Structure 1
Amino acid sequence: MTPPSTSDPAPRRIGANYVPSRGWFYSWLDLDPDAVRRDLADLAGIGLDHVRVFPVWPWVQPNRGLIRQRAIDDLLTVIDLAAEAGLDVSVDLLQGHLSSFDFLPSWVLTWHRRSVFEDRDVRAGLRTYVETVTRAVATRPNVFAVTLGNEVNNLWPANATTAATSTDWARELVSTAKAAAPELLVLHSLFDDAFYAPDHPFVPSDVTEIGDLSTVHSWVFNGVSRIDGPLGDATTTHADYLVELAAATATDPRRPVWLQEIGAPLPDIGAGEADAFVRRTLEHVGANPALWGVTWWCSHDLSRDLLDFPDREYDLGLFTVDHRPKPAALALAECIPALRRPVVAERPGLVCDVDLLRQPQRRAEVAPGSDFHRAWVQARSAGTVAIVPAGRSADVLRERGVVGTVPAEDVRPTWVDARD
């Protein structure tokens, strides 16, 4: 599949990360097709066009030499049920990490402990896994993408790696998946420390240079919600800020960005504030010409019968466990028609002294609450604004629709910091 450009007139993708209402991801151990069918009907009913699904790696490949056909068949069943509901599917391959838990097979743990990024044998096993699962899901016409995994950088530091190693690891597995299914989008997915943490061994270029398009995960519990409150500009523009950072960092000025995860987590966003948070966030990020699509986290709440999850994980769903749409679902549904329409916008650019592509050690200078971030939020309050790393050529700016630039130091924030 040829990756779309930011000026592609095709409608944007709007979907949900599928968290089963019965049994969370443990439901893969005992798949109930009727329960899945009901869940997917909820999502189709509010106008979504796709789901992102998460087979769990150690249950598919419990031994380096064994990939369970039953597990692959169950995955294909879920994909087929999505097709019945009129939903396309993106498949995450390496889980990996989900909702604060790491899921790793026994052959990389205990007496066999070895890094999933560094160990030669583990990487060989992963290549087999990625190739086998990708080939299988590519047989279904409603599958449009595979992602290496859900925030694989959460597996560090328990799994040793360096920036060079993690980049090589991702390039190797993306190439494996692409060879197995050239017609699919193949992606690499990381949480936002890749953009914000100076010493993190997964760097911005892993997001913006590897795979067919960039993906970002916007979570306001990273500290941004404490800057100006649950409905302040810093909070409701954070998704737009991450999309813009990814677009600005890419060497291809037309590389699209998929907002692959975003949610309204308690207590950062109160239950009575979720509706407004959804509307304001989507209005802001929907104005970004780099945006390719939005996938909400997540489809359904987590039952309180399941124990030991962080408290915020239980209430992130668009639907309750008994299939009632929540205010966030209704707000998302109302935003879909406008959000689907791609935009081509000319906008001013805010010049950033930090070039994340070449200076990842300076990531703290663009993290939430930094001087640059505060200046961008202030500039964004007047309308859409691009991020322009210093030294970008006029041709690149023109490709990104940037008309005129302003140094960040010339913008003086006037908004009140909620931490003061």
Structure 2
Amino acid sequence: MPHPPARPRFGANHVPSAGWFYGWLDDPAETARRDFEDLAGIGLDHVRIFPVWPWIQPNRTLIRRRGVADLLAVIDAAAEFGLSVAVDLLQGHLSSFDFLPSWVLTWHRRGVFTDPEVRAGLVTYVDTLTRAVATRDNVFAVTLGNEVNNLYPASPATPGAAREWAAELLGVARAAAPGLLTLHSLYDATWYDPEHPFHPADNVDLGDLTTVHSWVFNGVSALDGPLGPATVTHADYLVELAAATSPDPARPVWLQEVGAPRPDVPEADAPEFVRRLLDAVTPNPALWGVTWWCSHDLDRSLADFPEREYDLGLFTADHRIKPAARELAAAAGRPHAPARHRPALVCEVDLRSEPERRAEVAPGSAFHAEWVRLRESGPLAIVTAARAGDPAHLAARGIDAVLDRL
């Protein structure tokens, strides 16, 4: 099991500057090379990339060699600029669009999580891509896919089926490339929605790290505005929920997606939002790294995206650096020391065993409000009631005092 690094890693989720992810249909390495030069130039050390599932596996028994070769070419382009690479396998879901092959749609409609033939096809896909990317020294991780729980409810799943699906495919990836981190990526319904079939325990039990995706358009920014304490500490709150839920107090948490979405964070407030967010989350001793969403803006010549998707980049589509990128670069260049001595707020909800109580820790809940209030005085952990009296657990997480809720 890996441990959090001595200092957080900083990277970006790669959204190609030319043609968005449709650029995978052309010569993706050519665009990627220029994009990666931008990212390396501000001191980032890694990128997360997203090959699109149906363009590599258009038929259940066909893996396109050209698709795999294009993926390897993009990874090689990252290596030219000293960037390590995490590969998300199943896209799946990207920026409000779902990309699914025709063999799970229309007359062939089958559930991604439960149909045995789809599962068999995915085993082949995960095995093939993982073995291919493991041939590149700068690849450090594979994630099953980008926020795969967004494919529910169109593809129904029970909690048991969701967990078994992820466990099977993570096992395939781990067998194909034992030297890589294997990860499970879920958006925050897994933490906050009591009805969601993908549970917090899935995220903290499965894979080698826990990943969290922090987006303040989930209602957080409505609590206190773009620069309010709830908004700028939401990433830290998610990292703490994840750390508190894991049975392993040393399990790292990767802030795998975080961004400054408009209109929740207006353009004028974005640099200060980035600065305060990173000041809050980077001292967290569980933090593995921060990967910004995203590298480049979406060209406005492309239609039908939600408005907030167009301006999330660190760079414009024509490669101009944005003020938020300068704040991320400054944070990446600073020394960072984890907060080894901090209090913890006791949470009566054990998300691992009581997923039906997730609403009690969601943004705006009484527990969240109390954590935000106390967090204004400095770093603040979360500990479950069951572990609040466990000295070894508290020491491992740098907790030196336990606070009960008022």
TM-score by shorter chain over 0.5:
yes
Shorter-chain-normalised TM-score: which range?
over 0.9
What SS does the aligned partner of 2:123 have?
A: helix
Task: Select between 31-40 and 189-198 the one with higher mean Cα deviation.
Answer: 31-40
Does residue 397 of the first structure (1) align with residue 394 of the second (2)?
A: yes
Structure 2 match to 1:407:
404
Q: 1:268 and 2:250 equivalent?
A: no
- 1:69 and 2:79 equivalent? no
Tell me, yes or no, if the aligned pair for 2:28 and 2:70 is still in contact at 8 Å.
no
Counterpart residue number, 2:380: 385
Give per-residue Cα distances to partners, 1:319-344, cap 9 Å, x unaligned.
00110000111111111123x63515
SS of alignment partner, residue 321 of structure 1: coil
Pair 1:130-2:129 in alignment: no
1:262–1:71 CA distance, 2 compared to 1 (3 A):
same
Question: Which of 336, 339, 349 is residue 341 of structure 1 equivalent to?
Answer: 336
Letter in 2 for 1:364: A
Count residues in correspondence: 404
Aligned to 2:176: 180
Query: How far apart, in 2, do the equivalents of 1:137 and 1:211 lie?
Result: 18
Q: Structure 1 CA distance, aligned partners of 2:113 and 2:153?
A: 11
Q: Residue 4 of structure 1: CA displacement?
A: 2.4
**Structure 2 residue corresponding to 1:301, chosen from 279, 297, 303:** 297
The answer to whether the aligner puts 1:243 opposite 2:239 as a matched pair is yes
Residue correspondence of structure 1 range 2-401 to structure 2 within 5 A = 3-6=1-4, 8-9=5-6, 11-338=7-334, 341-392=336-387, 393-401=390-398
Query: What is the percentage of aligned positions where both structures have the same residue?
Result: 65
TM-score by length of 2: 0.98
- In 1, distance between residues paired with 2:183 and 2:307? 30
Q: Secondary structure at the match of 2:12?
A: strand
- Structure 1 SS opposite 2:58: coil
Give ranges in structure 1 of 5+ residues lacking alignment: 411-420
2:296 and 2:314 in contact (8 A); partners too: yes
* CA distance in structure 2 between the aligned counterparts of 1:362 and 1:287, rounded to whole angstroms: 28
Deviation at 1:34, TM superposition (A): 2.9
Please give the alpha-carbon distance, in whole angstroms, between the structure 2 residues aligned to 1:32 and 1:104.
20
Q: Is the 8 A contact 2:8 2:282 kept in 1?
A: no
Tell me what 1:417 maps to.
Answer: none
Query: Would you say the 8 A contact 1:12–1:342 is kept in 2?
Result: no
- The change in CA–CA distance for 1:269 and 1:314 in structure 2 (over 3 A counts) is same
Structure 2: gaps (5+ residues): none
One-letter code of the match for 1:332? L
Distance 1:32 1:367 in 2: 39
Query: Where in structure 1 do 4 or more consecutive aligned residues deviate above 3 Å?
Result: none
Q: CA deviation at 1:373?
A: 0.1
